[in-house]
Amino acid sequence: MRRIRQDKELSLSQLSEMASISAAQLSKLENDKVEPSVATLRKLADALGVSLAALVAEEAPPRLNPVLAGEGYTFRRSTGGREPIVEVFLHMSREARMQPEIITFPPGAESGRALSHDGEEFFFVLEGRVRFFYGHQPPVDLSEGDFIYFDNTVPHRYENLDGRKRARLLVCCSPPVF
C-alpha cells in the first residue's frame, strides 16, 4: 500500500481523507502493526484507484533472468536478399523496462524504412560495419566496438556496409517495443 500511495504522490493525511480512514490507522497498516479488514482494503483500493489484488499482492524480489548462448527468442525478418535479418531477443517480459537483442545482418542488408517509436535505444557494433541513418542528419558509419545512443522518436534505420561479411549489433531498447 505504501508503494502505491507514494507512487501516486499522496500523503497519509490525503489518503486518510480519500478513504475515510484515520491517518494513524493507515500508518499502522503500512507498518504491519494491524491486519486490515476486507472492507478497509476495499476503501483503500477505491481511494487509490487500484484493484483489491494490487493491495494484497506480495512484491516478489527481482529475479535474475540469465539467457545462455543459443537461447533467446529468435525472429527472422526478410530483407529481400538471400538471407534474413536475424533478431535474438535476450529477454521478453511484460515487466521489463528494457529490451536487449542481438541483430545479425547479412552482407549488404538494410533494416528497412526508417521507423520511430517511444523511448531510447543503444546500438553497440559487435562485428562488421554499419551505416546509421537518423532523421535528416548525415549518416554515421560505425565499426566493431563503436556504439550510439539515441532518442527513438526520431526516424532511424541502418544497413550493413559490407557486401561480403555479416554485421552483428547488440541493441537495447527502452521501453520494449515488441
Domain match, 43 and 131 both: no
Q: What is the pLDDT along the chain (178 residues), one digit of tens a residue?
A: 888 888 889 999 999 999 999 999 999 988 888 888 888 888 998 899 888 777 776 666 666 777 777 777 788 887 666 788 888 877 666 667 788 899 999 998 998 889 998 889 999 999 999 999 999 999 999 999 999 999 999 999 999 999 899 999 999 988 776 6
Q: Prior bond to 175 cis, omega within 30?
A: yes
What helix, strand, coil percent values describe the chain, rounded to 5? 20, 30, 50
Q: How many CB atoms lie within 10 A of CB 24?
A: 10
Domain match, 44 and 113 both: no
CATH code of residue 40: 1.10.260.40
Domain match, 38 and 91 both: no
Helix axes 38-48, 23-30, angle to 10 degrees: 100
Task: Give the DSSP letter of residue 6.
Answer: H
What is the bridge-based pairing of β-strands 156-160 and 167-174?
unpaired
- What is the distance between the alpha carbons of residues 84 and 78, in angstroms, rounded to a whole number? 5
3-state secondary structure of 164: coil
What pLDDT is stored for residue 76 in this prediction?
83
In a domain, 155, yes or no: yes
Q: Which helix (H) or strand (E) holds 7?
A: helix 2-7
Domain span at residue 143 reads 73-174
Query: Is the pTM here over 0.75, yes or no?
Result: no
Domain match, 8 and 40 both: yes
What pLDDT is stored for residue 95 in this prediction?
66
C-alpha cell at 135: 532523421
Domain match, 7 and 35 both: yes
Number of structural domains in the chain: 2
- What is the distance between the alpha carbons of residues 94 and 141, in angstroms, rounded to a whole number? 34
Q: Read out DSSP for 54-110? A: HHHPPPPPPPP----TT-SEEEEE--SSSS-EEEEES---TT-S-EEEEEEE-TT-B
What pLDDT is stored for residue 160 in this prediction?
94
What pLDDT is stored for residue 124 in this prediction?
96
